[in-house]
């Protein structure tokens, strides 16, 4: 298995899958950042053995009886081994305890329904109650439309939780990864003290394809990339995935 | 503009008008007219009491439906408009200012869809840019500073999707509104008077009290966009509207909104004065009810309301099904 080659979609060079995995899905050749699952993200960021999952066993309901939603959920669960599009809990980053959540794009596009909203809110509350810094890593197409207005309301749910947390003096760091859009960007993912982003990640409110279709505008090269967002003042820093843990350690070292 | 399903109503109206032009003192004609008027009334009742969700969406979007301007003009004794986001510009898609509604001094704001081609284009059909949402944040903070209740009239197809909006941080502007709205220590009351679509609506309606006109809708996504994503066919918007459960009655049934404000027969566009009056009465009642509430209690109740909202199943069986 370890000798299996794959071809980088970006640079076209052959890469060992083993090498790709060892570099948390960053191409050893061109440094392209492939999507990273939530469990791998947690492994990347936390000190070995420090992560304790919270709020496992919350499952999406199908409040609208939306066509195919249950089947989609079952498929996503089988594919990812996750309950929903998020893994959350507490862990240590370079010895510093934090409350941490990571979204998983493989699970219905990382979309935010009631379970994602609830677990984000609970993670924020754990951070508040235990006086911990809060780190949330996003990868999401936005609200989960199969849950209709309930998914829209998760934007309000995560916002009210955050609005309490920021009354305290512990930091909230949001990490935006490819892709982060819609109701996730328009709620907890951008309302942070510090916003970091991975190189090349596509970040925005509405996706480029939809904008092109509706406005017939030609969009510039690099539109909505992390670099574009940093240039427009929306993101603090672009951080390479393999430097992310060290960067967070450094940042948190300055803050209460 | 006549909606497809309103055709039978229009046919009766046209025939009645025609006969009225002809009608002299002839008793026969007058009888025919009154027979047609009864049929018209029955047709209105039949059609409007059986609207499908997508038909309601069309009523909510009707160009003659009373919008922000009509409510502002009819419900306020005085409206002192304020402009600009203090960063980049003034977005006419959202308007607001100091207003007096039935003896209440308030900060009134809402999406402005305009009344003719020029004003509709200028207001971008109620789709705000980040400047609009930053103006909203300014208004929330201004109201908080002076202890003024906020009244919001929600009527938007969504936040604008465009290059400039993205370049200037549409998502950031909306999340800042939600964060501000969550903690301002004044009553915030909204009425969804037409379209309540996506985060662009939510930034202005995650409020202490939400009233909703009978034929307005609230949704995470426009039914056409939902259909093109889920069914890969925007033509199946009617099915998507059905599936999204976006009507005022659905919202009230699920505890998302507090009140369904009935519309006159034939929809608000058929009798704007009655619709505006009904919304005005609701706002007056709610503002009076909230006027002496302790600001901390307001914030606490608002927090609880939106913190609880959602629906999930728990594996350990402790929480069971939680519904907001």
For B186-200, what is each residue's pLDDT tens digit?
999 999 999 999 999
Q: Which of A49-53, A128-132, B33-37 has the lowest mean pLDDT?
A: B33-37
Question: Within 10 Å of residue A82's Cβ, how many Cβ atoms?
Answer: 17
Q: Are B216 and A39 in contact (CB under 8 A)?
A: no
* Average pLDDT of the residues of chain B: 94
Alpha helices per DSSP H over chain B: 7-22, 27-48, 53-60, 68-75, 117-122, 130-146, 163-167, 170-183, 198-202, 223-230, 237-244, 248-253, 272-290, 295-308
DSSP element (H, E) containing A73 = helix A69-80
Residue B319 pLDDT class (50, 70, 90 cuts):
very low
How high is the pLDDT of residue B28? 86
Residue B285 CA to residue B279 CA, distance in Å, equals 10
Q: Which of B163, B303, B310 is closest, CB to CB, to A118?
A: B310
How high is the pLDDT of residue A185? 98
How high is the pLDDT of residue B313? 85
CB contact residues (below 8 A), chain A span 170-229, against chain B: 182-183, 185-191, 204-206, 210-211, 214-215, 217, 219-220, 223-224
Contacts of B307 (CB under 8 A, 6+ apart): A121, A157, A160, A161
CB contact residues (below 8 A), chain A span 136-155, against chain B: 143, 145-155
- Residue B221 per-residue DSSP state: S
* Residue B298 predicted with pLDDT over 70: yes
Residue B321 pLDDT class (50, 70, 90 cuts):
very low
Please identify which residue in the block is written with the tokens 């670099």: A227
Question: Within 10 Å of residue B79's Cβ, how many Cβ atoms?
Answer: 16
User: In this prediction, what percent of chain A has a pLDDT beyond 70?
Assistant: 99
* Residue B144 predicted with pLDDT over 80: yes
Output the CA torsion B7→B9→B14→B15 (10° steps). 110
* Residue A143 predicted with pLDDT over 70: yes
What are the structure tokens assigned to A81, written together?
A: 């081994």
Q: Are A133 and A98 in contact (CB under 8 A)?
A: yes
Tell me the pairing of strands B94-101 and B104-111. antiparallel
- 3-class SS at B192? strand
Q: Which of A84-93, A214-223, A239-248, B165-174 has the lowest mean pLDDT?
A: A214-223
* Residue B30 predicted with pLDDT over 60: yes
What are the structure tokens assigned to A186, written together?
A: 């328009």
DSSP string, A175-202: EEEEEE-HHHHTTTTTSSSEEEE-TT-B
* Residue B44 predicted with pLDDT over 60: yes
Q: Are B185 and B299 in contact (CB under 8 A)?
A: yes
* Residue B322 predicted with pLDDT over 80: no
Q: Give helix then strand counts, H and E, for chain A.
A: 9, 10
pTM over 0.90: yes
Q: Convert the pLDDT of each residue in B259-296 to its tens digit.
A: 999 999 999 999 999 999 999 999 999 999 999 999 99
Q: Whose CA is closest to A87, among A44, A41, A147?
A: A41
Residue A24 CA to residue A14 CA, distance in Å, equals 17
* Residue B318 predicted with pLDDT over 70: no
Please identify which residue in the block is written with the tokens 């960067």: A247
Residue B299 pLDDT class (50, 70, 90 cuts):
very high
How high is the pLDDT of residue B247? 98
Average pLDDT score over residue span B40-62: 95
How high is the pLDDT of residue B74? 98
Residue of B nearest to A158 (CA): B307
Q: Whose CA is closest to B134, among B168, B173, B180?
A: B173
Average pLDDT score over residue span B77-95: 97
Q: Convert the pLDDT of each residue in A216-237 to its tens digit.
A: 989 999 999 999 999 999 999 9
Dihedral over Cα of A137, B169, B197, B283: its sign = positive
* Residue B211 predicted with pLDDT over 90: yes
CB contact under 8 A, B219 and A148: yes
Q: Convert the pLDDT of each residue in A165-209 to its tens digit.
A: 999 999 999 999 999 999 999 999 999 999 999 999 999 999 999
Q: Are A89 and A71 in contact (CB under 8 A)?
A: no
Please identify which residue in the block is written with the tokens 């699970």: A107
Q: Convert the pLDDT of each residue in B236-268 to its tens digit.
A: 999 999 999 999 999 999 999 999 999 999 999
Residue A139 CA to residue B11 CA, distance in Å, equals 53
Q: Whose CA is closest to B218, among B134, B157, B289, B277?
A: B157
Residue B168 CA to residue A232 CA, distance in Å, equals 7
Please identify which residue in the block is written with the tokens 């200037």: B168
Average pLDDT score over residue span A122-147: 98
User: In this prediction, what percent of chain A has a pLDDT beyond 90?
Assistant: 96
**Which residues in chain B have their CB less than 8 angstroms from residue A188's CB?**
175
The half-sphere exposure of B230 on its side-chain side, counting CA atoms within 13 A, is: 25
Looking at the complex, does the CB of residue A86 fall below 8 Å from at least one CB of chain B? no
Average pLDDT score over residue span B136-146: 98
DSSP element (H, E) containing B323 = strand B322-323
**Which residues in chain A have their CB less than 8 angstroms from residue B310's CB?**
114, 117-118, 150, 153-154, 157
* Residue B315 predicted with pLDDT over 70: no
Q: Which of A64, A67, A162 is closest, CB to CB, to B245?
A: A64
A13: region left, alpha or beta (phi > 0 left; psi from -120 to 50 alpha): beta
Contacts of A238 (CB under 8 A, 6+ apart): A196, A197, A198, A199, A226, A227, A230
Q: Are B167 and B124 in contact (CB under 8 A)?
A: no
CB contact under 8 A, B243 and A64: yes
Tell me the pairing of strands B259-261 and B209-213. parallel
Average pLDDT score over residue span B106-128: 96
Q: Whose CA is closest to A174, among B54, A186, A164?
A: A186
Average pLDDT score over residue span B40-50: 93
CB contact residues (below 8 A), chain A span 27-56, against chain B: 56
How large is the ipTM? Answer: 0.97
Residue A2 pLDDT class (50, 70, 90 cuts):
low
Domains and CATH numbers, chain A: 35-254 (3.90.226.10)
* Average pLDDT of the residues of chain A: 96
Radius of gyration of chain A (CA): 18
Average pLDDT score over residue span A151-157: 98
Q: Are B218 and B246 in contact (CB under 8 A)?
A: yes
CB contact residues (below 8 A), chain B span 192-251, against chain A: 198-199, 202-203, 206, 218-221, 225-226, 229-230, 243-246, 250-251
Residue B72 pLDDT class (50, 70, 90 cuts):
very high
Residue A245 CA to residue A253 CA, distance in Å, equals 12
User: What are the C-alpha distances in Å from B161 to residues A39, A207, A243, B78, B129?
Assistant: 33, 8, 33, 34, 8
Residue B324 pLDDT class (50, 70, 90 cuts):
very low
DSSP β-bridge partners for residue B260: B212
Residue B23 pLDDT class (50, 70, 90 cuts):
low
DSSP element (H, E) containing A71 = helix A69-80
User: In this prediction, what percent of chain B has a pLDDT beyond 70?
Assistant: 96
Average pLDDT score over residue span A39-46: 98
CB contact under 8 A, B167 and A160: no
């Amino acid at each position: 298995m370890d000798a299996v080659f794959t071809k980088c979609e970006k640079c076209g060079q052959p890469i060992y899958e083993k090498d790709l995995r060892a570099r948390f899905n960053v191409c050893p050749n061109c440094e392209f950042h492939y999507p990273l699952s939530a469990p791998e993200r947690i492994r990347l960021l936390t000190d070995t053995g420090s992560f304790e999952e919270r709020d496992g066993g919350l499952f999406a309901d199908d409040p609208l009886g939306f066509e195919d939603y249950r089947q989609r959920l079952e498929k996503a669960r089988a594919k990812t081994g996750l309950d929903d599009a998020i893994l959350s809990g507490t862990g240590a980053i370079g010895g510093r305890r934090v409350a941490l959540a990571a979204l998983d794009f493989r699970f219905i596009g990382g979309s935010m329904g009631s379970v994602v909203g609830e677990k984000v809110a609970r993670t924020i509350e754990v951070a508040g109650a235990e006086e911990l810094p809060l780190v949330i890593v996003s990868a999401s197409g936005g609200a989960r439309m199969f849950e209709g207005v309930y998914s829209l309301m998760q934007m309000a749910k995560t916002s009210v939780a955050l609005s309490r947390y920021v009354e305290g003096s512990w930091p909230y760091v949001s990490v935006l990864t490819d892709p982060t859009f819609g109701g996730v960007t328009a709620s907890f993912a951008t309302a942070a003290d510090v916003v970091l982003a991975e190189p090349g990640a596509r970040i925005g409110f509405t996706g480029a394809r939809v904008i092109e279709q509706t406005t017939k505008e030609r969009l510039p090269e690099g539109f909505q990339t992390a670099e574009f967002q940093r240039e427009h003042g929306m993101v603090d820093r672009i951080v390479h995935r393999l430097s992310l843990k060290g960067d967070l350690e450094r940042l948190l070292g300055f803050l209460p | 503009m006549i909606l497809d399903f309103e055709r039978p109503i229009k046919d009766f109206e046209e025939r009645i008008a025609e006969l009225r032009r002809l009608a002299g003192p002839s008793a026969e004609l007058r009888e025919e007219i009154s027979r047609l008027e009864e049929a018209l009334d029955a047709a209105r009742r039949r059609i409007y009491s059986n609207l499908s969700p997508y038909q309601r969406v069309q009523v909510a979007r009707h160009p003659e439906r009373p919008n922000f301007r009509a409510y502002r003009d009819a419900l306020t004794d005085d409206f002192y408009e304020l402009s600009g986001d203090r960063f980049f510009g003034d977005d006419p898609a959202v308007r607001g200012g100091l207003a007096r509604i039935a003896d209440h001094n308030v900060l009134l704001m809402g999406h402005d869809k305009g009344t003719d081609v020029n004003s509709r284009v200028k207001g971008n059909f109620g789709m705000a840019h980040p400047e609009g949402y930053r103006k909203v944040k300014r208004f929330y903070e201004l109201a908080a500073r002076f202890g003024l209740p906020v009244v919001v009239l929600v009527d938007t197809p969504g936040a604008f999707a465009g290059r400039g909006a993205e370049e200037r941080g549409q998502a950031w502007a909306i999340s800042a509104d939600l964060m501000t709205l969550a903690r301002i220590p004044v009553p915030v009351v909204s009425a969804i008077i037409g379209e309540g679509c996506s985060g662009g609506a939510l930034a202005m309606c995650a409020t202490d009290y939400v009233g909703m006109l009978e034929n307005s809708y609230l949704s995470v996504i426009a039914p056409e966009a939902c259909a093109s994503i889920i069914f890969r066919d925007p033509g199946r918007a009617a099915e998507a509207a059905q599936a999204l459960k976006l009507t005022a009655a659905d919202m009230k049934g699920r505890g998302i909104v507090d009140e369904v404000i009935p519309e006159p027969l034939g929809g608000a566009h058929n009798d704007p004065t009655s619709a505006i009056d009904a919304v005005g009465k609701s706002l007056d009642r709610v503002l009076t009810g909230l006027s002496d509430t302790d600001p901390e209690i307001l914030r606490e109740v608002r927090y609880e309301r939106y913190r609880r909202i959602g629906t999930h199943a728990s594996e350990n069986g402790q929480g069971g099904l939680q519904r907001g």
